[in-house]
Amino acid sequence: MSQNTLAEDTRTGAAAPTEASSKRWWILAIIALAQLMVVLDATIVNIALPSAQADLGFSDGDRQWVVTAYALAFASLLLLGGRIADLFGRKPAFLVGVVGFGAVSALGGAATSFEMLVVARALQGVFAALLAPAALSLLNTTFTDARERARAFSVYGAIAGAGGAVGLLLGGILTDALDWRWTLYVNVAIAVVAVIGGWMLLSNHRDAANSKLDVPGTILVAGGLFSLVYGFSNAETHDWSSPQTWGFLVAGGVLLVAFTWWQTRASHPLLPLRILLDRDRAASFLAVLITGAGMFGVFLFLTYYLQLNLGFSPTKTGVAFLPMVAALMVSAQVGTTVLIPRIGPKAVIPLGFAIGVAGMAWLTGIEVGSDYVSAVLPQLIVVGLGLGMVIPPAMQMATGGVAAEDAGVASATVNAMQQVGGSIGTALLNTLAASAATDYLSGRDATSEAVQAQATIESYTTAFWWSAGLFAAGAVIAFLLFRRGVPQQDPDAAPVVHM
């Protein structure tokens, strides 16, 4: 982003006032903590599910709803949450989101039935959809210096990328040491700190206060995103040929096409299409979508491998992911603060994807008798280094340069891309992995433990190869779409609106 744009942003009120600006690193800490809470909850409950299932007595078929309820509510309401932050102010949106998230987490922790737990998880998704866009847009409007903004986004992006692994670690520790309910109760403690810090440090902006909420657009996009995520989750539990899968996927596609058409007609569009028409921003959205899909292969199948094949405890499994988190944070810092300002995204983001491809391809070498130090650890570090050069820079590029009044909805679009990407990855990689295991078992003695063990390895390595393929596609798309050179404010980008 050029210095001229930064100056314009400051004049339009996109920057936080001086008082808040002087405390901006404390603001970053509060925003990062709140974002960590949202990202954690995509994975922290997974490790606790067997304990919760035994305690509340629900079936294996019902188990997925504890995960899916959160994803459905979160993904379908994100754009609405982002627009509410723009219309009514980012500080109240952030605080209401945090308080609500903490309260319904306590409700989920105290659940006495399966239904109560699922309702609490869905409500977590509702408040996360309000909180996440407000947090990202607050970050975008608090840091107006290009160098400081890059540093802030390296921290935020690293949390967004590594939060899933941290969730696995924390989920394991809390389940082993205390009880599955603490995977939800822990959010209350995080929320208390975030609310106190947010109340004291944040200042309020209503950059789109003169606009109105686009109700038809909200209904269309919420229905479209819900149908897509629900359709992909049904592919995992039913089959791709099931009407509950393709029917919802088709409905989702139709609703999103209708939403796009409506945005060209609406007087106050929910998602102004100018946000999507900038090449660098569109490329960034796609990069976030693809990493959301590809990262799933790392977290889910490696968790299976470490626990079921190598015999790791939940806590040890979480610890095993920490080197990847460390590598991701280091490369996030280098990517956003050193490489992007010097050589631009057209070189950096495809390179990050290519490193991710190498790491995932290397990971396919796991065998039944492999050990963590040689067959998993170096590969995880390589994957972390690659993703750190993709996720934080892409998030920064996706939200930088938008008009102040569109900051919330641009931030919501980034989060929606990550959620939809994760849903695609869940359905696609699970289905492909299951098919690979079935193909391996056909014609072999399925009762043999050795054959069954090898079949699971075949399923994992198939998922890793497909993740590598997704990252390879990301490298090509990023190289073709991103502009050459260091990012500048482009005339086609969302205009800066003088309020």
DSSP string, 34-64: HHHHHHHTTTHHHHHHHHHHHHHT--HHHHH
Q: How confident is the model at residue 209 (pLDDT cuts 50, 70, 90)?
A: low
Q: How far apart are CA 41 and CA 67, in angstroms?
A: 9
Tokens of 197: 């810090």
Helix count and strand count (H, E) for the chain: 23, 0
- Predicted pLDDT of residue 281: 86
Pairwise pLDDT comparison (296 vs 492), residue with the higher score: 296
Token pair listed for 323: 């080197």
CA nearest to 211, candidates 269, 148, 265, 296: 269
What does the DSSP 8-state code read for residue 421?
H
Note the pLDDT tens digit of each residue in 405-452.
Answer: 777 777 788 878 887 888 778 778 888 888 888 888 887 777 788 888
Please tell me which of 41-55, 180-194, 333-347 the model is most confident about, judged by mean pLDDT.
Answer: 180-194
* pLDDT number for residue 488: 58
pLDDT of 494 higher than 70: no
- How far apart are alpha carbons 185 and 194 in whole angstroms? 15
Residue 402 has pLDDT above 80, yes or no: no
Confidence of residue 17 (pLDDT cuts 50, 70, 90): very low
Return the pLDDT at 406. Answer: 72
Kindly calculate the radius of gyration of the chain based on its CA atoms and give it in whole angstroms.
22
- Please give the mean pLDDT across all residues of the chain: 80
Cβ-contact 83, 214 below 8 angstroms: yes
Segment 375-381 mean pLDDT: 92
Residue-wise burial string across 388-426, b where 16 or more C-beta atoms lie within 10 A, e elsewhere: bbbbbbbbbbbbbbbbbbbbbbbbbbbbbbbbbbbbbbb
Please check the confidence at residue 341 and state whether its pLDDT lies above 80.
yes
H runs (alpha helix) in 89-145: 90-109, 114-142
Domains of the chain, each with CATH number or no CATH: 3-213+270-481 (1.20.1250.20)
Weakest mean pLDDT among 146-150, 329-333, 380-384: 146-150
Q: Residue 13's pLDDT band (boundaries 50, 70, 90)?
A: very low
pLDDT range class, residue 216, cuts 50, 70, 90: confident
Mean pLDDT, range 364-386, rounded to an integer: 90
Q: Which segment of 112-126, 232-246, 335-349 scores lowest on mean pLDDT?
A: 232-246
- pLDDT tier, 489 (very low <50, low <70, confident <90, very high otherwise): very low
Would the pLDDT of 324 be above 60? yes
Q: Measured between alpha carbons, how far is 312 from 139 in angstroms, rounded to an integer?
A: 38
pLDDT at site 492: 39
Q: What is the pLDDT of residues 446-478, one digit of tens each?
A: 778 888 888 889 888 998 999 999 999 999 999
What is the reported pLDDT for 491?
38
Could you give the CA distance from residue 493 to residue 499 in angstroms, rounded to a whole number? 18
387-391: average pLDDT: 89
pLDDT at 156 over 70: yes
Per-residue model confidence (pLDDT) at position 161: 66
Provide the pLDDT for residue 297: 64
User: The whole model's pTM is what?
Assistant: 0.78
Residue 400, pLDDT > 80, answer: no
Confidence bin at 206 (pLDDT 50/70/90): low
Tell me what pLDDT residue 429 has.
83
- Closest of 129, 132, 184, 183 to residue 156, by C-alpha: 132
Q: Between 42 and 332, whose confidence is greater?
A: 332
